[in-house]
Structure 1
Amino acid sequence: MTWVLPDDPSAVPEGRHRIRTTLTEWRLDDQVDVAELLADELITNALRHAWGKPLLTLSLIDGALRCEVNDLSPELPRMRLPDAGEEHGRGLQLLEQLSARWGSVLTYTGKVVWFEITAARP
């Protein structure tokens, strides 16, 4: 499933809502909190470091929940260690710690940043 999100701060709660609703329909309630948190980071980064309307895509393949956020910037994310007093810069560290895998890839129009988490159904 893919959604075009607004190119303003309302994209973050809308993205969380889309994830919660979809994962509930897919009976993946246990993965909602982590998926929302990580997608929140990707959407926020797309709004902060790119332009245009981000695309949010969720898919479920072979026991893995995959979330992708497309934006129009060709600059791939870089892992960095923020200073203790910084309020931003920890999103990729969260991806590294909470996802099974994550990555980014250039597209013709920008990039996709994605993560996968195990999708265990009850």
Structure 2
Amino acid sequence: MPFHPSLHLPLLFHLLIETPASISFIFFPKAQLLNASPDAILISRNLGGLLLAINLVCLVFLTGGESYNNQLVAKVSLCFATYHVWPAHRAYVRLARGPKGRREEQKVLGGPVVHLVVHLGCLISLFGGGLMGIMS
């Protein structure tokens, strides 16, 4: 039995959003962190690698056909939803600091307003899809 259709769109949304982010963190870490130390660059690349791995898990589920059941995909979707709390929090903090806290900060992939909206959207869709998948 294929997994619940409510899980396809959130996983695809996550994949489309996090692929550019993973590329940015891996190949352009200085765009994410101005004046970054060599250790911070390594941490940024580590995060990019983690995002890439999560994206590959999404891709496995999206292309796996009937191999996966609702419960598994729903639980993984709920796990992915928890990730999006943290980039949403980062975007909120950047906005709360105001322009003074953002001196010389680059707008990478849309800036904090876009990040907040997109990550809240991913959080809600993955959480909602996960719950619907568990209940089906």
TM > 0.5: no
Greater relative contact order (Cα < 8 A, sep 6+): 2
Which structure has the highest helix share of the two?
2
Name the TM-score, length of structure 1 as normaliser.
Answer: 0.39
Name the TM-score, length of structure 2 as normaliser.
Answer: 0.36
Larger radius of gyration: 2
